[in-house]
Chains A and B, each alone.
Chain A
Amino acid sequence: MAGQVAVGSRSGLRSALPLLLPAYLWLTVAIFLPLSAMVFFSFMTDLPLSGKAWSFTLDNYMTFFSQGLYPTLLLASLRLGLEVTLWCVVIGYPAAYVLAKVLKGRSREAIFLLVILPFWSNGLVRIFSWAMVLREGGILDTALNAALPFEINIDLMYSYPAVIIGLVHSYVPYMVLTCYLTLQAIDDSLIEAGRSLGASRLQMLKRVIVPLAMPGLVAGAALIFVPVVGSFMEPRILGGRTGTFYGTIIEDQFVAVFNWPLGAALSFILLAVVLVMLALASPVLKRAA
């Protein structure tokens, strides 16, 4: 079947060209040009804008390797990406399953809306609402103290868990959406066939549903992992002093220190690392999918 699709798309390429043109134009203008400029900057000693003298250099890239701080932060960010992706799987996959296979009609639409809602709300609003919930004397603290007979002190604000919570909340809709799409495409009669053969629900999940939904899981993971590794808003606002990650360091270079060349170089190192990781993972993922 894959073969047929490939043949079909090749013969249709010529006629599809006019349709693709706007997209390619947009990609060129919006992504390729600025990105090229950034590549250029990353090899310069200073920005050419201020009239100061500048020259080409590899120093920006060398900085990453000469100071232990950057690799350490990159590792911390990769770990953050991994953890957030994992939580998104743990939360998003079952939610997608329930949406696709358990709920029907009205209730499905309602829950779907609830899942997608964070998607549509402004990122900053979302993060500051979490700040109100998580801080000492905040909503979570007050509610728990009102409900529990003993005194507890919940202050998750400015901590690693707060960053995780904020990021998972922001990114879990991706996982729900991609998994929902693949799960929904699984014919119910497959599940019935499995049950008629004596498979328990867990066995069905393991041997039929998860393998068939793997493309959605992989797509969701990629959509989440990559931006989370470079994220800076959630770590900064919810993490406070503990929220220093690779993404926040890059942001600093652009908005605080005004060392654009270093910021650009750090970005491209991140991009390279992520690409290498995806390339290494792709044979495994392809087999799973």
Chain B
Amino acid sequence: MAGVQVSNVSRSFGAHKALDDVSIDFADGGFYALLGPSGSGKTTLLRQIAGFDFPDSGRIAIGGESVERVPVEKRRIGMVFQNYALFPNMSVADNVAFGLSVRGEAKAVIAAEVQRALDLVQLGKLGSRRPHQLSGGQRQRVALARAIVTKPRVLLLDEPLGALDKALRVDMQIELKRIQREIGITTIFVTHDQEEALTMSDRIGILRDGRLVQEGPPEEIYDSPKSEFAATFLGDANILRGDTTGTGIRLPDGTAIAAGAGATLAAGAKASCAVRPERIRIATNAGSADQTNGNMLRGQVSKRIFAGNNSTYFVERDGQTLKVIVQNTGIERLAEGQDVMLSWSPESTVLIAAN
């Protein structure tokens, strides 16, 4: 097992920069999510780490050993593909055995290891089936067993749960996390699903247009995003734009917003404030608004989406729509068209330099 260091890696396809000077340190034994919209370079980065493709410039090291020119066969990595990529001409057991048998391991060793891997993914009894006789979730488990049975140094997964339906996906997320903990393998997981990234990983790297936007533990990225993109892509924050006052911003209509977190900026520059929908209190009038919350804005409810345990209110103010998520406590239900007062604390407000 080993950590992975990606340093200043760039990769272009023609004039298009798919990866632009990306550096990330994947710690040994960690579970890492690469998150970004489609086309942001997630797969390209994973393929550089796997060795299917080589960077134009930059370094990649696995376990401290430079590998950027080493082909995939020699990198000792395990890879799980979105479409499973199981060999249709082989049984489940033969699929899992493949990596060991091309290495020339003894038959008895292979059989024992294969059984252990199949047990680990809870498919112990299905070894003699063919891939086409399995469900999507089962195929994904086989692909996982096949990837880890060779004891690779790193496990790479490219949107492995993308083809599964929601319920199965949640099951597989838990399952994958359990297996990863059990064998303690460094895992890099590509996804475009922010919820998946938040719930599963120790650290998240957000990619956009081939650049690493931000990197860190989920809580850190969520609580203190460093860019509007990070704030909105992970967790869908409200963004308010204006001129910075040094400790916050002044909106175009003159309202001051105090920010207790984020960048320190020189007064006068353009800046924005990000605030999470669930941090905002919503009240029917100024009187009932929480006065201890420093930031206040008046608005009008334009839409309400009820989701059982919570409701999302869309509040219009000064030509902008703000989202507010309210836990369903059964006390207060606001109607569409109602005038409201929004309030939130400066500590929930992150100051972000304009990009």
Contact surface of A with B, Cβ cutoff 8 Å: 1, 187, 189-190, 192-200, 203, 207-208, 211-212
Contact = CB atoms under 8 A, between A and B. Distances in A.
A207 B73 contact: no
B88 interface: yes
B87 A199 contact: no
Contact of B98 (A187, A194, A211): A194
Interface in B74-89: 74, 76-79, 81, 83, 85-89
Interface residues of B, number: 25
B150 interface: yes
A203 B100 CA distance: 12
A212 B90 CA distance: 10
A285 to B, nearest CB: 15
Given A192-B81, A196-B78, A198-B73, A208 B99 contact: no
8 contacts: A189-B85, A190-B87, A193-B79, A195-B72, A196-B77, A198-B74, A200-B73, A208-B87
Nearest to B143: A193
Contacts of B333: none
B87 A1 contact: no
B81 A197 contact: no
Contact of A196 (B79, B83, B86): B79
Contacts of A198: 73-74, 76, 99, 102-103, 150
A187 B86 CA distance: 10
Contacts of B52: 192, 195-196
A194 B77 CA distance: 12
Contacts, number: 63
Contact of A212 (B76, B79, B81, B88): B88
Interface in B149-168: 150
A199 B74 CA distance: 9
Given A197-B146, A198-B99, A199-B98, A190 B72 contact: no
Interface in B47-62: 50, 52
Given A192-B52, A207-B98, A199 B73 contact: yes
Contacts of B178: none
A175 B102 CA distance: 29
Residue among A189, A203, A211 with max Cβ neighbours from chain B (10 Å): A189
B237 to A, nearest CB: 36
A203 B146 CA distance: 17
B89 A197 contact: no
Contacts of A211: 89
A45 B121 CA distance: 74
Given A1-B132, A190-B85, A208-B87, A195 B73 contact: yes
Contacts of A212: 88-89
Contact of A197 (B71, B88, B99): B99
Contacts of B99: 197-199
Residue among A197, A199, A211 with max Cβ neighbours from chain B (10 Å): A197
B106 to A, nearest CB: 16
Nearest to B146: A197
Contacts of A190: 85, 87
A211 B98 CA distance: 14
Given A192-B52, A194-B102, 18 more contacts: A187-B85, A190-B85, A192-B85, A193-B79, A194-B87, A195-B52, A195-B73, A196-B73, A197-B78, A197-B150, A198-B99, A199-B73, A199-B98, A200-B73, A203-B102, A207-B87, A208-B89, A211-B89
A174 to B, nearest CB: 23
Residue among B50, B102, B150 with max Cβ neighbours from chain A (10 Å): B102
A192 B79 CA distance: 9
Q: What 9 pairs across the A-B complex have the smallest Cβ distances?
A: A197-B99, A193-B85, A196-B79, A189-B85, A199-B102, A211-B89, A195-B72, A189-B81, A203-B102
